[in-house]
Amino acid sequence: MTNSIKLTIYGVASIATLSLMVFVVLPQLPQMSGSSDSLSTSAEEASAWAGGSGGEGGCCGGGGDNSGPSGDNGGGSNDSPSPYIPPAPVPAVCNYLTTSQTSLPYGGGTVTLSWSTSNATSASINNGVGQVNINGSVNDVVVTSSITFTLTAVGAGGNASCAVTVTVSPPPPTPAAVCSYFDVSPNTVPYGGGNVTIAWQTSDATSVSINNGVGTVSANGSKTVFVSSDTTFQLTAIGTGGNDTHCVDSVTVNPPPTPAATCDSFTADRYNVPYNGGNVLLSWETTNASSVSIDNGVGNVSADGSKNVYVDSTTTYTLTAVGAGGNDTCTVTITKGAAQAPICDYLRVSDDEVEEGDDVTLSWETTNATSVSIDNGIGNVSADGSKTVEIDDDTTFTLTAVGTNGSDTCTVRVEIEEEEDKKTPRCELDISKDRVKRGEKVTLSWETTNVDEIVIKDDRGNTIFDTDDYSSSKRKKYYDGEIDVIINQSTEFRMKAEGEDGGSRTCKVDVDVDDIAVYEKRDQALVIALTQVPYTGFEAGAFLTFLFYAVLTLWALFIAYILVVKKGSVLGFSLYGATAGMSETDVENRKKVEALVAKYADQSWK
């Protein structure tokens, strides 16, 4: 075919336009996709088909030598070109289609779709997304139910597709009704019935009801109802997802009451007993009692009856009557009489004047005494009795009877006989108090006979007083005397009296502390009170002083003679009267005076 064609070729680098008169066989031109870059025939191929663009003569035999499918240019000679066979078109490819989330919770949500294609001329996504770019993404795609997105890529050589699925979770199951709390209070009511309060709590319930006449109630609440017999309440909670009937509580009505036991009477035949005790008859009556008992050792007894008990102290007896419907108690008190004061009836000695080393027998009787003791090492003894002891020195025995209501004492003295040819020294040591507080002052006083030296020491060897500290002319006036001592601890004081004929006698006295301060020792001579040394009332020489004491001694001997030898009688008259009508105390005092006078008279005569 011969034709004149104007061919415009668009190349990548330039555009060429050529008008030629050629004889060609035109092949089918390739399709264009709308873009100069998508031509399936390149500019170089088009130029070749035109017989070359570089020669000057072209098909008319110009002067250039441009090779091409048309053969040699120039010379006016043209060969027929070979036909063009274009390449097969390329199909589109879907590289991927993805979603930001492949699963969503119940109710759905939004996702982002992303994709990529190759060789595609267009692309689209179903389910409402529509036409999209051949590569890209789209946000906030709403998904409310499970769905599959499909991307379709269209290409010259064919189409392609890819898909992605998003799953939406199914709705959760509907919850069942739940009874979380159910209480009936109180669970017990008295016989005849009473009000109780029902309280409850539920969840996910569409309706709630309680049996036994209560009926339909709110989901949560409380209600007061009257119960006259044993009743079991049950709550039923109904819900869309299921029901709950497990809440149950019961009320018990007490049975009819049983009569309580009663103590009708509880008495005694007497309510006071002597101090030493006595028998008492207890009597009682009860009603509706299944068992009866009395405390303080009596134990279980009959419902009605009496029983003898011995009471030796104030005692309250309690009777307890036990019954099915309740218990009852009643009491009775027995009082013990007051104790009488103890009495020391007597304390006697078989011989009140013995030789040193002899034995004597002490005998005694007491009344109402709970404990009896005798000093000087004898200790606790029976209320009535006797005991033999050895006498080594002048000794005064004191019996102490202690009772519930006080104490009583009595004394007896035993003295050592003096040898006729020997002046046996004698001594008495006394203390003003036998129990003191720490730091308190006491007075030691003493009397002696037939001595030419005395020494007083404490039980730690400290010398309290010694007549050797004085000249022979002055020491005699200290054979009788007293001295003050401060006591800081319990102490025993001993006075040793040395006799004129070489013998000696020891007297002792104790003081207890509530613990001996050290007594006060001074360099100066002891200060002796006038009461310690007889005072004549005048200052005289040795002769007059001797005469004074001689007269005083004769007077004492005369008085002693009257009291002892004449038994207190002068010319038939008694100095202190007969004992008839005298109290026991006066008689005892008289005996003590007689003993004291006899002692000093005996000393004077000897």
pLDDT tens for each residue of 291-350: 999 999 999 999 999 999 999 889 999 999 999 889 999 999 999 888 788 999 999 998
602: helix, coil or strand?
A: helix
Closest among 390, 345, 377 to 364, alpha carbons compared:
345
93-168 carries CATH number 1.20.950: no
- Report the CATH fold assignment for 426-513: Immunoglobulin-like (2.60.40)
Residue-by-residue DSSP string for 123-190: EEETTTTEEE-SSEEEEEEEESS-EEEEEEEEETTEEEEEEEEEEEPPPPPPPPPEEEEEEEE-SEE-
Residue 427: per-residue pLDDT: 83
- Report the CATH fold assignment for 262-336: Immunoglobulin-like (2.60.40)
pLDDT tens for each residue of 119-138: 999 999 999 999 999 999 99
In sequence order, what are the residues at sequence separation of 6 or more whose Cβ sits closer than 8 angstroms to the Cβ of residue 27?
83, 84, 85, 86
> How far is it, in rounded angstroms, from Cα 479 to Cα 467?
8
Q: Is 190 exposed, middle or buried (0-12, 13-18, 19+ CB in 10 A)?
A: exposed
Tokens of 192: 């005849």
Out of 3.40.50.1820, 2.60.40.2470, 3.40.640.10, 3.60.20.10, select the CATH number for domain 178-253: 2.60.40.2470
Cα angle, residue 251 at apex, residues 247 and 253 outer, rounded to 5°? 170
Cβ atoms of 216 and 207 within 8 Å: the answer is yes
Domain definitions of the chain by residue range: 1-87, 93-168, 178-253, 262-336, 343-416, 426-513, 542-605
> How far is it, in rounded angstroms, from Cα 376 to Cα 397?
7
Out of 3.40.30.10, 2.60.40.2470, 3.40.50.720, 3.40.1400.10, select the CATH number for domain 343-416: 2.60.40.2470
Cβ atoms of 435 and 511 within 8 Å: the answer is yes
389: helix, coil or strand?
A: strand
Taking 70 as the pLDDT cut, the residues of the chain under it are 1-81, 418-422, 502, 515-542, 563-606
In whole angstroms, how far apart are CA 12 and each of 9, 38, 39, 90?
A: 10, 11, 10, 21
Q: What share of the chain is helix, strand, coil (3-state, %, to 5)?
A: 10, 50, 40
Cβ atoms of 493 and 429 within 8 Å: the answer is yes
> How far is it, in rounded angstroms, from Cα 487 to Cα 431?
12
